[in-house]
């Protein structure tokens, strides 16, 4: 599930970077897309370490979110503001999902450490997005 969510976030951030007007915001979104790509690879490695095959692709919910984001940004007079707003919403959901998985008492320590590191990256991105939201 978290693997799919990272694929979704990577695609969403790529889309936001392609459509951002502000060069700094474009760079921020590109960095987040790369970060989520890296998170996905870390998760795939962890999944393989436990003898499982990771799924590839994005989730239906992620596809629906991107479609809604496409519509919202195309209708918005300030596309950057709309993209920031959507990214904040997506990162809040992601942080909550990571937190839910981390509550599982049976999670292996190596996985918990990886997920905590990734969650902290998501929270850092969320905090940056919130500060960008306040500036606009």
What is the rounded distance in angstroms from the CA atom of residue 72 to the CA atom of residue 82?
7
pLDDT digits (tens, 9 = 90+) for 13-25: 988 898 888 999 9
| Residues composing the chain | 136
Half-sphere exposure of 127 (CA within 13 A, CB side): 6
Residue 94 tokens read as 């992601």
| C-alpha 33, offset from chain centre | 8
Rounded to an integer, the average pLDDT of 104-119 is 95
Angle (CA) 27-32-118 rounded to 5° is 155
What is the rounded distance in angstroms from the CA atom of residue 112 to the CA atom of residue 127?
22
Residue 53 tokens read as 């095959």
Rounded to an integer, the average pLDDT of 102-115 is 94
Domains in the chain: boundaries: 2-135
What is the rounded distance in angstroms from the CA atom of residue 28 to the CA atom of residue 125?
9
Long-range pairs, 101-107, Cβ under 8 A, ≥24 = 101/1, 101/2
What is the rounded distance in angstroms from the CA atom of residue 128 to the CA atom of residue 102?
23
Give the model's pLDDT for residue 39: 96
Enter the CATH code of domain 2-135: 1.20.1260.10
Backbone phi and psi for residue 78, each to the nearest 5 degrees, phi listed first: -115, 95
What is the band of 70 on the pLDDT scale with cuts at 50, 70, 90? low
């Amino acid at each position: 599930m978290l693997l799919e969510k990272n694929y979704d976030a990577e695609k969403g951030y790529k889309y936001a970077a392609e459509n951002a007007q502000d060069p700094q915001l474009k760079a921020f979104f590109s960095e987040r897309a790369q970060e989520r790509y890296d998170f996905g690879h870390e998760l795939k490695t962890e999944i393989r370490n436990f003898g499982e095959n990771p799924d590839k692709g994005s989730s239906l919910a992620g596809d629906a979110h991107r479609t809604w984001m496409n519509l919202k940004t195309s209708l918005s007079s300030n596309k950057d503001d709309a993209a920031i707003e959507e990214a904040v919403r997506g990162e809040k959901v992601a942080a909550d999902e990571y937190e839910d998985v981390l509550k599982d008492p049976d999670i292996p320590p190596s996985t918990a450490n990886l997920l905590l590191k990734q969650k902290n990256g998501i929270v850092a991105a969320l905090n940056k997005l919130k500060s960008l939201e306040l500036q606009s």
